[in-house]
Amino acid sequence: MLDFFKLVFYQPLYNGLVFLMDIIPGADAGIAVILLTILVKLILFPLSKRSIETQFSMRHFQPELDELKKKYASDREGYARATMAFYKEKHINPFSSFFLLLIQLPVIISLYYVFFRGGLPEINEALRYAFIPSPEVSMEFLGLIDIAGKSITLAALAGITQFFQVKLALPPPAPGTRDGSFQGELMHGMHMQMKYVMPIVAAVVAYTISGAVALYWTTSNLFAIGQEIVVRRSMARMQNEENPNHHA
């Protein structure tokens, strides 16, 4: 299994990074990290777009779902059946985000390990393809930040961008979530942890490992923020065109 992961995901991405460093003036590893991250994100964009569209649709229909929850408050099985029937009627697959994440996960993990265990600035000859040149790598990003070591600046950027990415992607808690029940308090606590604790964890982990990982994380978050904004605006425009009198 590990050999398959290495052969299909890790090694191609590693060689992609080495190739980019070879063609970039000064073999700037930081620029190569940014370009490789963007390239992989663009390849995965169709999958991510589907996930964002599903989340947007579920938010749009949240009032109807809340009504179903009230209607079947004492009938869990009835609520489950009614909810699935509603999703089917609206052509929504509530599990699509989970499936898409599973598809993307090997690529994301591989990309992370490329920067975490890539052995830079030395090129790992055991991983390098014979037709890929072996450049003299510079770990000074733009001649300013050593991404081989720890960088408080990049770690802070990773945490800040993670906060805005989560804030944008995370749906607001439904009205009445904090109703005093254990489930309500649990959901509220998880929402707060995702919004505030996760960015702190991201910053600490990014600082602990290396500037390269922090730069990857920051680039990935910025791309995700831009992607979320573009797709959501596109979805909102389409809905306004379909329902021109909705906001009248």
The angle formed by the CA atoms of residues 195, 196 and 199, to the nearest 5 degrees, is 95
Per-residue pLDDT of the chain (248 residues; tens, 9 = 90+): 677 777 888 888 888 888 988 888 888 888 888 998 898 888 878 777 777 777 777 777 777 777 777 777 777 777 777 888 877 777 777 666 666 667 667 776 777 777 776 667 778 888 888 898 888 888 888 878 888 788 888 899 989 998 888 887 776 555 444 445 545 555 555 656 666 788 888 888 888 877 888 888 899 889 988 888 887 787 777 766 666 655 44
Domain ranges across the chain: 2-242
Nearest-angstrom CA–CA distance, 171 and 87: 18
The rounded radius of gyration (Å) of the Cα atoms in the chain is 22
Q: Which amino acid, 203? A: A
* 170 CB neighbour count, 10 Å cutoff: 13
